[in-house]
Amino acid sequence: MMKELFFNPSGKFKILQFTDIHYTNGNTADHKTTKLMEMLIREEKPEFIIMTGDTVYGPDNLENLTKALKPVMDSGIPWSYTFGNHDTEDGVDETVLFSKLMSLPGCVVYNADPWISGMANHYLEIKTQEGAIKWILFGIDSGNYNKLENVGGYSYVKSDQIDWYKKVTREYKQKDSDSSSLVFMHIPLPEYREVWGQQQCSGNKKEGVCSPDINSGFFTAILEEGHTKGIFVGHDHINDYMGSLYGIKLGYGRATGYNTYGQEGYLKGARILVLDENNNSDFETYIRLEDSRKEWQ
């Protein structure tokens, strides 16, 4: 059942995006990640938290899931989850991990359509205090690795997922034309290369865009539907840029976890998005760093 989310009494809704936590074995780096998550939650005080993949890594992924998510669970703030390519790579599969997720305090993830590809494809409504729906948050399973042997590389959003997304957005457009949406997933779309190439991005690009080698047309469908205003991903640990492509913002989160690769001087952190109930065409966003600085984009 879909959990109701509401703008705060000031008409704002703050989203905290954690990505690439890579909790592995409870070592010093993992504990450092936990402390950072606690600090960011405490100082930002979001209305909602979204995890965009690679939260856990390794053969003990099920055991470590609750350890990785403890700061989020303890916060009492509603949160949701999308899978990354490493979450289930060496441990239990998505079905087992998803079942555990749904039992955790504060988790609002669900599997909206069990007949389409992936796990935990879902959407959530954000309502005003009076109950009017203003924003929809989509969580999309971007998969892990491409099973087409002659292609390889990373997986892509499948055609049945795209059809599902189009069906849901059309239902909302028919029901209430005054709503917009955001999409959260793990692996960047191929269009992330294109938006950087236009040289109109803010933020950092310190590695190549690790997108699928197949373009399945998800961005085109988003563009045609005209409902989604932004797409936010993780996956590439030292990219955090954002740019606008044909009116849709494409952005990275900021890698949060210390137990994985990074770059010297490139601080860990998270992305913040702030929605306004009186503006469904745009939103504010910034990167929040471990040293408490904010980088507006």
pLDDT tens across 88-111, in order?
988 999 999 999 999 999 999 999
Q: What is the CATH number of the domain that holds 205?
A: 3.60.21.10
Q: What are the Cα distances from residue 278, in Å, to 7, 8, 178, 184?
A: 11, 13, 10, 22
**pLDDT at 6 > cutoff 80:** yes
Q: Provide the domain limits for residue 37.
A: 5-296
Comparing 26-40, 125-139, 172-186, 252-266, which segment has the lowest mean pLDDT?
A: 172-186
The predicted structure's pLDDT at residue 248 = 97
Q: What are the Cα distances from residue 186, in Å, to 76, 174, 198, 211, 255?
A: 24, 29, 23, 10, 11
pLDDT in tens, 154-204: 999 999 999 999 999 999 999 877 899 999 999 999 999 999 999 889 999
Partners of residue 286 on adjacent β-strands: 272, 296
The total of structural domains in the chain comes to 1
The predicted structure's pLDDT at residue 73 = 98
Q: What are the Cα distances from residue 193, in Å, to 37, 105, 207, 218, 242?
A: 29, 37, 11, 15, 11
Share of the chain above pLDDT 70, in %: 99
**66-68-71-77 Cα dihedral, nearest 10 degrees:** -70
The predicted structure's pLDDT at residue 1 = 63
Average pLDDT, the chain: 96
Partners of residue 202 on adjacent β-strands: 242
User: Angle at CA 131, nearest 5°, toward 127 and 133?
Assistant: 45
Rounded to whole angstroms, the Cα distance separating 261 from 238 reads: 9
pLDDT in tens, 213-257: 999 999 999 999 999 999 999 999 999 999 999 999 999 999 999
**Which tokens sit at 217?**
């047309």
Q: What are φ and ψ of residue 168, in 5° steps?
A: -65, -45
The predicted structure's pLDDT at residue 218 = 98
Q: Are strands 269-276 and 279-289 parallel, antiparallel or unpaired?
A: antiparallel
Mind giving me the DSSP string for 92-161? Answer: S-HHHHHHHHHTSTTB----S-TTSSSS--EEEEEE-TT--EEEEEEE----SB---TTT-SB----HHH
The predicted structure's pLDDT at residue 175 = 84
**pLDDT at 126 > cutoff 70:** yes
